[in-house]
């Protein structure tokens, strides 16, 4: 073993399992996923996987904005093995009056990013909107930017998503996309955020707008309207916003979403976004399950969604990270099967995901008031390769066998990192090839970042097993 490799190992032994960022390896060669979709990579060239949760404060606004998000969110997420948070931020809080940006709101975002960095959690800043914004009783785009041409709006308190189809809401989206002054205002908003946070070590990237919608034309069905909106309005909007961000931040990833109708298994109509660091970020919701139905394994929804959602990123050669997913009622009889099928699908084509939502209670919350996973959501906490310095050829976790396997061809003297969640029995780690790890076992109930060191060009296999599996 070379003197330099001994030094790397000594440093790793000093920080293993403490969540300390890894050492800087030489650039890795990014391996394509089996369907031709490239992986996400970090600034060291490693292939990365992000898994975590949305973090939000939809109730707090003005003086109380973001106060419901605490350091505990990030400490607890990391303690269960997650490494990414999609943080909801609202334009109406950032710029409540046109041209007046809230310094206090920016400070609160920065405080949250500092907490995330403390626990080695990367953050995706999401410009969130629900039903456009405050003009219609929700959050997102400021009321001063809502132009309705006097069209009607009727609230639907028992079915808020149907409010997207109200004429006033649809017209407001059209003006956002088409009016030159609103285009400039949206671009300025993103320049403010990217200029302030582009250099923050916790920032992974920017989700440019949450679940964008548009206006149906007479005689147009929703699927056709969505394809047209994506092609003619969202694509140029994303290119404008990309230019705005790049004027102040050259490095962060840009996440672009289709309309929510992609959840019905319809490929997006988005065109090319002319930027080298774009991520396709669809959401993964089923209409029937959102209305309270149980998962139907025979309906083929997950298969149809996967077939549709992979078309765009494969064509444009961009990574996929699913920005939201997870049912409201996760305790129904078939939900254990749903989580198994959904996670298997997501892991086939995506570089990661953010579940909805990390909070402490009922409904969509990931955990209860005591911090315990709610029914079936414990399946989201599984071993994964957070960073691989090399070309990945196999990467899979078998939950029934309790075994995770990673195979890759190493690049340089790069350090790869595996994230292991707490397990009641603990984990054992074995490495074959010209590589090794200082961490051969992880104690029960403890999350750990396992670092693997490999010689350039080595064919490496890492096997992680539960300590009660064939271990006596």
Tens digits of residue pLDDT in 51-64: 999 999 999 999 99
Cβ neighbour number for residue 261 with a 10 Å cutoff: 19
What is d(CA 58, CA 66) in angstroms, rounded to the nearest whole number? 8
Q: Give the least confident one: 40-44, 127-131, 375-379, 412-416.
A: 412-416
Q: What is the DSSP letter of 26?
A: P
Average pLDDT value over all residues in the chain: 92
Compute the distance between CA of residue 391 and CA of residue 298 in angstroms, rounded to an integer. Answer: 35
Helices (H) and strands (E) in the chain, counts: 12, 20
Longest dimension (CA), the chain: 74
Question: Which tokens in the block code for residue 459?
Answer: 């064919």
- For residues 421 and 366, what is the distance between their CA atoms, to the nearest angstrom? 15
Instruction: Specify the pLDDT at position 42.
Output: 95
Predicted confidence band of residue 470 (pLDDT cuts 50, 70, 90):
low
Q: What is the pTM of this model?
A: 0.94
What DSSP character marks residue 366?
S
Confidence of residue 469 (pLDDT cuts 50, 70, 90): low
CA 38 from centroid of its chain's CA atoms = 16
C-beta of residue 327 within 8 angstroms of C-beta of residue 365:
no
Handedness of CA 58, 64, 67, 68 (dihedral sign): negative
Write the pLDDT tens digit of every residue in 384-441: 999 999 999 999 999 999 999 999 999 976 899 999 999 999 999 999 999 999 999 9
Q: In the predicted model, is pLDDT for residue 458 greater than 50?
A: yes
Helix pair 167-178, 180-197: axis angle to 10 deg: 70
Alpha carbons 231 and 234: distance in angstroms, whole number = 6
Per-residue exposure over 353-392, b if at least 16 CB sit within 10 Å of its own CB, e if not? bbbbbbbbeeebbbbeeeeebbebbebbbbbbbbbbbbbb
| Rounded Cα distance, 431 and 309, in Å | 35
pLDDT confidence of residue 17? 53
Taking residue 215's Cβ as centre, other Cβ atoms within 10 Å add up to 20
- Who has greater pLDDT, 417 or 24? 417
- Taking only the tens place, the pLDDT of each residue in 224-276 is 999 999 999 999 999 999 999 999 999 999 999 999 999 889 999 999 999 99
Query: If phi over 0 gives left and psi between -120 and 50 gives alpha, with beta otherwise, what is residue 462?
Result: beta
Sign of the four-CA dihedral 334, 306, 282, 155? negative
Could you tell me the two tokens for 295?
A: 């998962």
Give the position of tokens 């061809």: 409
């Amino acid at each position: 073993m070379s003197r330099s490799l001994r030094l790397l190992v000594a440093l790793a032994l000093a920080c293993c399992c403490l969540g300390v960022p890894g050492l800087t390896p030489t650039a890795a060669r990014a391996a394509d996923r089996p369907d031709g979709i490239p992986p996400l990579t970090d600034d060291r060239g490693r292939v990365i996987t992000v898994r975590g949760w949305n973090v939000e404060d939809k109730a707090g606004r003005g003086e109380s904005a973001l106060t419901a998000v605490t350091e505990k969110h990030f400490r607890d997420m990391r303690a269960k093995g997650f490494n990414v948070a999609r943080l909801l931020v609202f334009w109406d809080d950032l710029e409540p009056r046109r041209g007046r940006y809230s310094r206090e709101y920016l400070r609160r975002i920065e405080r949250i990013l500092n907490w995330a960095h403390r626990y080695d959690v990367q953050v995706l800043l999401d410009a969130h909107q629900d039903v456009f914004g405050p003009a219609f009783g929700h959050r997102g785009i400021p009321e001063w930017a809502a132009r309705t041409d006097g069209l009607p709006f009727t609230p639907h308190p028992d079915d808020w998503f149907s409010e997207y189809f109200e004429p006033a809401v649809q017209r407001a989206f059209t003006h956002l996309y088409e009016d030159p002054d609103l285009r400039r205002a949206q671009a300025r908003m993103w320049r403010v955020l990217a200029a302030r946070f582009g250099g923050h070590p916790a920032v992974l990237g920017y989700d440019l707008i949450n679940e964008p919608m548009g206006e149906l034309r007479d005689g147009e069905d929703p699927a056709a309207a969505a394809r047209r909106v994506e092609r003619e309005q969202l694509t140029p909007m994303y290119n404008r916003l990309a230019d705005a961000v790049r004027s102040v931040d050259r490095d962060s990833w840009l996440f672009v979403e289709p309309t929510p109708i992609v959840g019905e298994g319809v490929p997006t109509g988005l065109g090319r976004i002319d930027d080298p660091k774009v991520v396709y970020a669809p959401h993964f919701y089923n209409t029937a399950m959102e209305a309270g139905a149980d998962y139907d394994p025979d309906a083929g929804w997950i298969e149809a969604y996967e077939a549709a959602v992979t078309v765009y990123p494969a064509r444009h050669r961009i990574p996929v990270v699913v920005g939201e997913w997870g049912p409201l009622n996760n305790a129904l009889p078939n939900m254990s099967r749903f989580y198994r099928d959904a996670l298997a699908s997501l892991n086939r084509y995506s570089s990661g995901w953010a579940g909805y939502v990390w909070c402490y209670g009922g409904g969509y919350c990931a955990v209860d008031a005591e911090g315990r996973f709610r029914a079936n959501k414990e399946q989201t906490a599984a071993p994964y390769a957070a960073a691989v310095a090399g070309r990945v050829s196999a990467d899979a976790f078998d939950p029934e066998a309790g075994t995770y396997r990673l195979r890759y061809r190493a690049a340089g003297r790069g350090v790869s990192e595996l994230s292991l969640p707490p397990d009641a029995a603990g984990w054992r780690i074995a490495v074959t090839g010209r590589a090794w790890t200082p961490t051969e076992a992880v104690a029960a109930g403890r999350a750990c970042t396992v670092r693997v060191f490999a010689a350039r060009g080595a064919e490496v296999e890492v096997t992680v097993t539960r300590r009660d599996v064939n271990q006596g």
